[in-house]
Amino acid sequence: MAHTKISMAQALNQALRDAMAADESVVMFGEDVGALGGVFRITDGLTAEFGEKRCFDTPLAEAGIVGMAVGMAMNGMRPVVEMQFDAFGYPAFEQIVSHVAKMRNRTRGRVQLPMVIRIPYGGGIGGVEHHSDSSESYFAHTPGLTVVTPATVEDAYGLLRKAIEFPDPVVFMEPKKLYWAKEEVDLGESVPEIGRAVVRREGADATLIAYGPAVPVALEAAQVAAAEGRQLTVVDLRSVVPFDDETVCAAVRRTGRAVVVAEASGFASVSSEIVARVTEKCFHSLAAPVRRVTAFDIPFPPPKLEKYQLPSVDRILDAVDDLQWEDS
């Protein structure tokens, strides 16, 4: 397939289209995903191409959407459901935690749930509360769920294809502010395996560990740092659960310093887990305590204030400056 310049939203749409064409058991449903094509147009044209039985609207009832997907997955389908916005998924939380995550264990492996829960998440679009949450920590804390989040157009396509093919439930976190980011990609190239991180930039002085919407900010910070004479590695997790200790720890051991960058609030979060894992596994390689740059521990602020809430280049560089360079 030739290289083409497309947006992340178009890549996700193509991934759904290709998966539905390849496997008749793949169905897509949720609020306004049918004729409208979804609020973010991720399902644009799927109903017209595959019919109302393969891509259809549901009532505004997230628990019902996920519960129906559980039943369909138990009976041989591969449902993909959309939670229209991050916080809209909370009414479905009981279904996800009590049934989606536990079915395999509950049935001693006899019943698997090959289903994907797509969740547009994060800030950066001027949304209000319920429209800008970073909810990945709730799902990452729940055994039985796989949690992935792309940061590039190519990964958006590849990871969604892998998620749909996965034998167990996947929570697929889509960074809203990257929906319109465009890249020159070849969707025919091999896709990453779920559970593998990637080094986006090499540097010898410190490692920035990021995922989803925080990755472009980390890369921009690394570019600014390089202009100032400091070389930073940037690791894109791609997969929050399972976590790629091998790639992350190898990068941290090479540099001896690390900063975790995430949009979610810091307390009891995925970023907390990363700091704990890196500290436990890389302790003797660390020249300074691992730092974090996250959102503050407050409800998501109004649109005009979100720039202060989200990790910025300046906040990342401040954290890097605080890595005890005087001791090196």
Distance CA 326, CA 57 (A): 59
Q: Are 13 and 41 in contact (CB under 8 A)?
A: yes
Backbone angles phi, psi at 285, to 5 degrees: -100, -5
Determine whether 131 is an active site residue.
yes
Residue 278 to residues 67, 246, 249, 289, Cα–Cα distance (Å): 37, 10, 6, 10
Give the residue among 94, 148, 142 at the shortest CA–CA distance from 117: 148
- List the catalytic residue out of 3, 99, 131, 284: 131
Where in the sequence numbering do the catalytic residues fall? 131
